[in-house]
Amino acid sequence: MAPATVECTDIDSHDPLHQIFAYRAFDFRNRFPDPLPTFRAALECLQSEAAYMPDIDAEIIAYLRDGRSIPLPDCFYWVTKKRFSSREEAQCWVEERQSAMAQGGPLSKLAGLAVADPQDPIEKQIQDAMESTVTYVIAEEHNDTISQQAADWLRAAILGLPPSG
């Protein structure tokens, strides 16, 4: 009687993520030219001290073995929060800016222009300040969760691609 053989199959061999051969992280000055082995490694580049203005300009791209690439949505590395947590905080900021503009030089009028136009009435400035947001790179303590969510998203994205040809 011949000895029994056991066929060893890798359950993950059909995982769409095996089509990814590298990731790249991009910041404002493209300081990460080398390919990276995982999404997490790319995310950690954007979280590092070496990253230049990653909260302003960042991107993570997965490169597939067939030559295609998939840019990941920025929700996997950025979080957007309200600039001010209360109306009082926004009002205080507007008042402080008005005071600084009254005492400062011509460039002081540009302070906070992206948040609220200093030429608008005070009430509109406060409302604009309340609606303004700030973007941050996701904190490192969320890397495990975000990496898993990115992997799930990439699997679906790869499966949704048309066949390469």
At residue 12, the pLDDT reads: 58
Residues whose CB falls within 8 Å of the CB of residue 154, separated by 6 or more in sequence, listed in order = 16, 17, 20, 39, 62, 70, 72
User: Given a cut of 60, is residue 160 above it in pLDDT?
Assistant: yes
- pLDDT at residue 10, as a whole number: 45
What is residue 75's predicted lDDT score, i.e. its pLDDT?
A: 96
Above 50 in pLDDT, residue 20? yes
- 3-class secondary structure, 23: strand
Q: Is the pLDDT of residue 85 over 50?
A: yes
Question: Domain limits of the chain?
Answer: 14-77+140-158, 84-131
Residue 6 has a pLDDT of: 36
User: What average pLDDT is seen over the chain?
Assistant: 90
pLDDT of residue 114: 85
pLDDT at 4 over 60: no
- How many angstroms separate the CA atoms of 25 and 27, rounded? 7
Q: What is the pLDDT of residues 93-141, one digit of tens each?
A: 999 988 888 887 777 777 888 888 988 999 999 999 999 999 999 999 9
Q: Which amino acid is at 130?
A: M
The string of pLDDT tens digits covering residues 23-74 is: 999 999 999 999 999 999 999 999 999 999 999 999 999 999 999 999 999 9
